[in-house]
Structures are given as structure tokens and as C-alpha cells.
Amino acid sequence: MARSEFTRPAILAALGAWFGFLTGPNVMVAATNSNFLRILPEALHTNRTMLSTALAVALWLNAICVPIGGRLVDRFGLRKVVLPGIVLFSIAYLLLSQVTNAWEFLLVQILIAVPVSMHASPAYAKLISLWFDRHRGFVLGLAVALGAGLGQTIMPKVTQALINTYGWRGGFIGIALIVLAIGFPAVALLARTPKAMLVADHAASSGEQAETEQRARFGQQGYTRGEALRQRTFYQLFAAIMFGSMALLATMAHAVPLLTERGLSVSDATTVMSCAFAGVIVGQFSSGFVIDRLNTPRVLTPYFASALIGVVILYSAHDKHILLPAAVMMGLGLGGEISQNAYLVSRYFGLKAFGAIYGLTFAASALGNGTGVILLGYLRDLSGSYDICRYLTGGAMTAALICVTFLPKFVFSSPKAAAR
């Protein structure tokens, strides 16, 4: 029998990745921007379009910087990149607490792109992918669901409580302290790569030469970044992630002002957001569990279809009791997209240049998110409401659904699939 992947070092490394996801940009930026976007226009004497532009610029810079961060992880290893990134990320949020006008806010948003690229999810997704092959989808889904998903569910409430108690400046300071006090020590202690742990030796101890050789070569299987860029599948995946993020992540950034303008209280609006992120958790965990067993990208089609229905309802309904399940449906699709992006990259392109290639698909998410954020802000200020935005988000989500539905078979199938 093949040796179990769930060794003590592997589990500890997965826990380290979990803390990385929990305190990373997908939580601390994506899940809290909406809380600040509601109050900062008045506090900084500007409008929502200007602040949306600043957030979009940051996301577009992330699209440039995250692939570079992924290549640095490929070359120098996770710890030499992410640990300084966590510290710089915390400092950036401390700087945000001190801004006095829109231009200072824009400057810090530009600066934050560097630590975001170092502390982003490609590093943590690669760590899990290096430790797990047979159960990669399950472990990635679990780590992202209980890391990014759980964080995205609770951080809107935590951030709003900080703002209500200490003001918006205290909200930024609180986020910085959470990242530094929880994220840094956990990642520093737990996030160890298989090379440092001599994972090939673990395989050798099972007495199976074939598995030993496979695990010894594990991190070198796959395409280079240049080879990946010559494949149609890469651009199809890139488009699916970009359009899905334009519809879903941009909506999350505007969710609180969108819902409060519909007549919901701030508390009810953040509850709807939390329901969306609860759906993200379910989508992340369930999609990883299923994709390991079926070994096909078709698993993601119903998740993206659910998100399409949810996002259209969110921009159309006014009743809280309708908005809550719609938010969950939208979250299901977002959860499938976020957690399985890394899995799809590993199965289509392997692990040889995983950080660089996944960084490019992460850039697709940042590009789509940034474009969506600024367009939603512009359309809202232009028309006086968010109603027209349903056509933008619905169209983008339809495009994402089409792209993911027609993805080809995996190139680097899991050992379980190969055995069948």
C-alpha cells in the first residue's frame, strides 16, 4: 500500500498554509473593503468613484506583482518571500490608518501591491500542492474554506465592530495587528516545504521504489511558464477567473453600500455579506471533495451557474429574506473559483513553475476584480443607483460559466484517477 499523505509534517504545513490564507489579502483586503467604502468618501472628502479607482489601481498592480511574487517563491522558497511580506502588509495597513485625503489613500493602495504579491495565496497553494497529490483537491478546499472562507465570513463583522468602536482609523489598525500577531508567528512556525522535511525520504521508508522516485521528482513535474502560455487552456482558465472575479469579487467590494442603498441597515448588509462568505466556505470545501473523486473540471460548472443566479438576484431584489439565499448562491460559485483555481493550475500545468503560472491566474482575478470595482463605482455615480450594474455582472458571470464549462480534460491527473 502507498504511504498516507497525511503525515505529521504535512498536516503542520497545511495548518501553516491555513493561517496564511486566514490572514492573507483574500480576507483582509477583499472582505473588508466594502466596510470602508461606505464611510471613507465622507471622511476623506471625496466620492465613491475616486475611492473605487484607488482600489482598482491597487488590484491592477496586484495583477502585475503577484506573478512576480509567485516566481520568487518558485526560486527562493516560501518562507523567504512570505514572512517579509506579512510584515510589510501589516505596515501598509498602519499607513492606511493615517491617510487624510483621497490622494494619500491612492498612494498607500499603490504601495500595498508589493506586500500583497508576497503574502498572496499562490505561495500557500503551492505549499499544499507539494505535500499532497492524491488528496490535493480536498486539502486545498479545506484549507481555503477554513482559512480564506472563514476569514471572509467573520472579518466584515469584526471590521465593522472595530469601526463602530474605534472609528475607521482603528479599523485599519485592528487589521494590521491581527495579521502581525496571528499570521506571522503561525506561518513562521508551521509553513515548511517538503524539501526541507525530506519528503522523498518519507516515501523511501515505505519500501516502494516507484513512489520514492515520484515524490523525489514531485516538485519538478510540469510545464514552464513559457510552455503554459503557449496553450489555449491557460487563456480559457485566465478568462474564466477574470470574468468570475469581475462579477463576484467586485460585487463583494460594493456590497455594503449596495445593500444599504436598498434600505437595509448596516448590520443586515454585513449579515448578507457574511452569508455570501459562508457560501464561499461550502463551495470551497465541497468542490475540493468532489473534484478529487471525479477528476474533471466539469465539477465547477454548477458552482458557476449558482453564482450567476445569485449575483443577478442580488442586484434585483430588495427583500432581505431573498437576498440571504442569493448571497449564499453567489458565495458557492466564488468558493469553487477561489479554491479550485490552484487545483486546476496544478492539474493542467504541473508543479514545476506552479508559483509563476498560478500567479498569472491570480493576476486574472485581480485584473477582473479591479476592473469590476471601478466600473461598478462609476456606473453607480453615473446613474445614481446600482440597478444598472446587474447587466455588467450578469454578463461577466455568463462568460465565466461558458469558459469553465468547456475546459478540457486534466493533463496531470491524480494517482487515484490514474489507478482507475
Query: Which of 369-373, 388-392, 414-418 tops mean pLDDT?
Result: 388-392
Confidence of residue 335 (pLDDT cuts 50, 70, 90): confident
For the whole prediction, is pTM greater than 0.75?
no
Contact 13, 190 (CB under 8 A): yes
**What percentage of the chain has pLDDT greater than the value 70?**
91
Mean pLDDT across the chain: 84
Write the DSSP assignment of 160-203 as a string of letters: HHHHHHHHHHHHHHHHHHHIIIIIHHHHHHH---HHHHTHHHHH
Tell me the Cα Rg of the chain. Answer: 20
C-alpha distances (whole Å) from 120 to each of 70, 125, 139 are: 9, 9, 18
Contact 411, 232 (CB under 8 A): no
The pLDDT score that the predictor gives to residue 394 is 94
The pLDDT score that the predictor gives to residue 215 is 43
Q: Flag whether pLDDT at 220 surpasses 70.
A: no
Confidence of residue 1 (pLDDT cuts 50, 70, 90): very low
Residue 232 resides in a domain: yes
Q: 75: Cβ–Cβ under 8 A, 6 or more apart, which residues?
A: none
C-alpha distances (whole Å) from 109 to each of 57, 103, 338, 392 are: 7, 10, 23, 25
Cα angle 178, 183, 186 (rounded to 5 degrees) comes to 135
Phi and psi dihedrals of 273, rounded to 5?
Answer: -60, -45
The pLDDT score that the predictor gives to residue 196 is 45
46-66 burial, b at 16+ Cβ within 10 Å, e below that, comes to bebbbbbbbbbbbbbbbbebb
Q: What DSSP designation does 253 have?
A: H
C-alpha distances (whole Å) from 156 to each of 86, 103, 267, 316, 400 are: 20, 25, 10, 23, 26
The pLDDT score that the predictor gives to residue 189 is 94
Phi and psi dihedrals of 203, rounded to 5?
Answer: -65, -40
The pLDDT score that the predictor gives to residue 414 is 61
C-alpha cell at 370: 479591479
Please compute the mean of the pLDDT values over residues 286-302 and round it to a whole number. 85
Residue 3 resides in a domain: no
What region, left, alpha or beta, does residue 263 occupy, with left being phi > 0 and alpha being psi -120 to 50 degrees?
left
Q: Flag whether pLDDT at 200 surpasses 70.
A: no
Q: Flag whether pLDDT at 247 surpasses 80.
A: yes
Please compute the mean of the pLDDT values over residues 55-75 and round it to a whole number. 84
Contact 321, 189 (CB under 8 A): no
Instruction: Give the type of residue at 324.
Output: L
Rounded CA separation 185/204 (Å): 32
The pLDDT score that the predictor gives to residue 203 is 44
The sign of the CA dihedral 31, 32, 33, 39 is positive
Residue 2 resides in a domain: no
C-alpha cell at 158: 469584526
Residue 1 resides in a domain: no
CATH number assigned to the domain comprising residue 243: 1.20.1250.20
> In this structure, which long-range contacts are made by residues 384-389, counting pairs with CB atoms below 8 Å and at least 24 apart in sequence?
385/261, 386/254, 386/258, 386/261, 386/315, 387/315, 387/316, 389/254, 389/315
Query: In the chain, how many domains are there?
Result: 1
More confident residue, 49 or 102: 102
Phi and psi dihedrals of 356, rounded to 5?
Answer: -70, -40
The pLDDT score that the predictor gives to residue 5 is 79
Phi and psi dihedrals of 350, rounded to 5?
Answer: 75, -165
C-alpha cell at 111: 504601495
Structural domain containing residue 77: 8-419
Q: Flag whether pLDDT at 214 surpasses 50.
A: no
The sign of the CA dihedral 298, 303, 305, 308 is negative
